[in-house]
């Protein structure tokens, strides 16, 4: 299989004229066994952990493993030439924070449309973990399928989570996802077939992710996919692209930009202690926080990908 000069080439795959074999990326090896074990555990024993345990797990794992992949954003921005001096760096941070704050404000003002917008943006973002060189419509369809399958498995569980995040009106969003689920599942299978032609490991990842979404509770699916595949892939890609600038600086930026939002989340939790159950507050902090960071994060990742692709042409 030829993988040279293909943006879907797995990280670390050798390139050259002599038909190199695509190496299976680290995150595929991490995600697939984890996904299959988790899916199997719920298929056989259905050992559903209490919701509060799942929420605590997602808060901790998203903080430790999920957040750092967004923390590479200042480095992506530097590569894009968005900042060069301390002053333009400060302006970049101000802009990034302002966009995130605007998303939170919008969410509080119009929660249900904000949730829908978050799901649509996330569909494009997550769907781009596969078939990266293919049209956006295919990637969006893949992501929409991935995010709808949990509702197909357990519409009420997803509806309850959405209601905590966006109020009663959000129940209809889970219903819509459950209704679209079967068609989207077919779309995901098509995406897997398309991916298989150039990168078979992507097809296996997609099938593993679909099995996980259909068999494990919604939050367990999200934890395993988000931490073991999505975040791991972007973190590794980010470190690889920053290789010229030294690992120490990259580590420092990742640490600082992981800790800053976490500190903010902690302040919010302490500030609002007693106004709602801790698990509900945690769920809101995790997902509304992710929504706030996703908008500037996705804009940068998209620009970064575009720059990378044009430099490869």
Measure the CA–CA gap between 184 and 253, rounded to whole angstroms: 38
For residues 51 and 156, give the distance between their C-alpha atoms in angstroms, rounded to a whole number. 13
Q: Which of 28, 54, 114, 122 binds ligand RET (CB under 6 A)?
A: 122
Q: Which residues contact 52 (CB under 8 A, 6 or more apart)?
A: 279
Q: How far is the CB of 210 from ligand RET (least distance, A)?
A: 13
Of 151, 149, 226, the C-alpha closest to 184 is 149
Q: Which is nearer to ligand RET, 82 or 290 (CB)?
A: 290
**Rama region for 16: left / alpha / beta (φ>0; ψ in -120 to 50; rest):** left
Closest CA to 150 of 57, 230, 208, 221: 221
Question: If binding is defined by CB under 6 A, does position 161 make contact with ligand RET?
Answer: yes
* Chosen residue from 294, 295, 296, 300 binding ligand RET by CB under 6 A: 294
Of the candidates 223, 167, 179, 200, the one whose C-alpha atom is nearest the C-alpha of residue 1 is: 200
Q: Which residue has the tokens 């819509």?
A: 176
User: Which positions from 41 through 100 interact with ligand RET, judged by CB under 6 A?
Assistant: none
User: Segment near ligand RET (CB under 6 A), from 21-29, 106-114, 249-257, 287-295?
Assistant: 287-295
Q: Which stretch binds ligand RET (CB under 6 A): 75-83, 116-124, 194-202, 237-245?
A: 116-124
Whose Cβ is closer to ligand RET: residue 100's or residue 147's? 147
Q: Is 131 in the site for ligand RET (CB under 6 A)?
A: no
Interface residue with ligand RET, options 31, 107, 204, 222 (CB under 6 A): 222
Q: What angle do CA 285, 291, 292 make, to 5 degrees?
A: 85
Q: Which residue has the tokens 């345990």?
A: 53
Known binding-site residues for Fe cation equal 69, 125, 230, 234
- The residue range among 80-88, 91-99, 214-222, 272-280 that interacts with ligand RET, by the rule CB under 6 A, is 214-222
Q: Which residues bind to ligand RET, rule: CB under 6 A?
A: 118-119, 122, 125, 147, 150, 158, 161, 218-219, 222, 287, 290, 294
């Amino acid at each position: 299989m030829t993988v040279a000069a293909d943006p879907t080439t797995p990280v670390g795959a050798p390139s050259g004229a002599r038909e190199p074999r695509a190496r299976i990326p680290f995150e595929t090896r991490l995600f697939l066994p984890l996904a299959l074990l988790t899916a199997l555990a719920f298929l056989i024993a259905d050992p559903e952990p209490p919701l509060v345990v799942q929420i605590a797990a997602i808060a901790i794992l998203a903080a430790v493993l999920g957040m750092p992949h967004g923390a590479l954003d200042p480095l992506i921005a530097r590569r894009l030439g968005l900042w060069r001096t301390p002053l333009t760096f400060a302006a970049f941070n101000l802009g990034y924070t302002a966009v995130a704050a605007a998303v939170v404000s919008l969410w509080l003002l119009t929660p249900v449309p904000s949730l829908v917008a978050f799901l649509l943006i996330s569909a494009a973002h997550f769907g781009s973990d596969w078939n990266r060189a293919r049209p956006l419509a295919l990637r969006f369809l893949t992501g929409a399928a991935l995010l709808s399958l949990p509702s197909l498995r357990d519409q009420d569980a997803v509806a309850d989570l959405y209601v905590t995040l966006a109020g009663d009106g959000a129940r209809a969003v889970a219903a819509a996802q459950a209704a679209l689920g079967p068609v989207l599942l077919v779309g995901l299978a098509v995406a897997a077939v398309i991916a298989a032609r150039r990168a078979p490991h992507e097809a296996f990842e997609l099938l593993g992710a679909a099995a996980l979404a259909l068999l494990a509770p919604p939050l367990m699916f999200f934890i395993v996919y988000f931490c073991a595949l999505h975040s791991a892939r972007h973190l590794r890609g980010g470190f690889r692209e920053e290789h010229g600038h030294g690992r120490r600086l990259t580590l420092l930026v990742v640490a600082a930009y992981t800790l800053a939002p976490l500190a903010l989340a902690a302040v919010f939790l302490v500030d609002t202690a007693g106004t709602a159950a801790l698990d509900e507050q945690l769920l809101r902090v995790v997902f509304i926080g992710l929504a706030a960071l996703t908008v500037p994060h996705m804009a940068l990742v998209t620009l970064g990908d575009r720059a990378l692709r044009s430099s490869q042409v």
